[in-house]
Amino acid sequence: HKAVARVQQFQSPAQVSKSKILESTKIAIDVGFRHIDAAYVYENEEEIGQAIRSKIADGVVKREDIFLTTKLWSTFHRPELVQVCLEKSLKKFQLDYVDLYLIHYPISIKVECHPYLNQSKLLDFCKSRDIVLVAYAALGSQRPKIWVDQNAPFLLNDPVLCAMAKKHNRSPAQIALGYQMQRGVIALAHSYEENEMKENIQ
């Protein structure tokens, strides 16, 4: 699926319970997500591994049905640390392998991308080089107070998105995700709520 279940803690680890991460991952698998995006720095590998193993045990999925991504944090880039860190992640997941192991670094072609920040020039460049652009915050910025003016418009309340959603009997989030898919952009959609996950995958 082009929409990826991104079970990331945008708040500090203390603000999001481990049980919430576990249950959200299970729900994401139940509603049909098959690409799970984790990372050492998100502190979610144990719960995601537990959720995947639980859904395998329940017969909902097989391990090969899940495309699991995790990431090597920026402070561990030295060659002698890479395998050690991967093994630590696998131990946390309690799984034999991950499908994609990325270097977690600020420079990448995974960028904030949504109708208010459509990255059109970057997308054109990526397409010209056969590079797939991955959009995080595809439903709008997380709006942290230190970076974003809290009076700035909220994407999912945008009148154009809301009008299109009403016309097509969809949610504004579904319109925003459809926009990305039509552009050939992979959208990382994240939520802890079951009804939102179902909308995202639809």
5: helix, strand or coil: strand
Tell me which long-range contacts 91-97 makes (C-beta under 8 A, separation of at least 24). 92/45, 92/46, 92/49, 93/38, 93/45, 93/46, 93/48, 93/49, 93/52, 93/68, 94/49, 94/50, 94/53, 95/49, 95/52, 95/53, 95/63, 95/68, 96/63
The β-bridge partners of 146 are: none
State the Rg of the chain over Cα.
17
Per the CB < 8 A criterion, the answer to whether 52 and 63 are in contact is: yes
Catalytic residue among 40, 42, 136, 179: 42
Q: Is 42 a catalytic residue?
A: yes
Count each helix (H run) and each strand (E run) in the chain, helices first.
Answer: 7, 7
Please state, in angstroms and rounded to a whole number, the distance separating the CA atoms of residues 44 and 51.
11
Please state, in angstroms and rounded to a whole number, the distance separating the CA atoms of residues 191 and 24.
8
Give the residue numbers marked as catalytic. 42
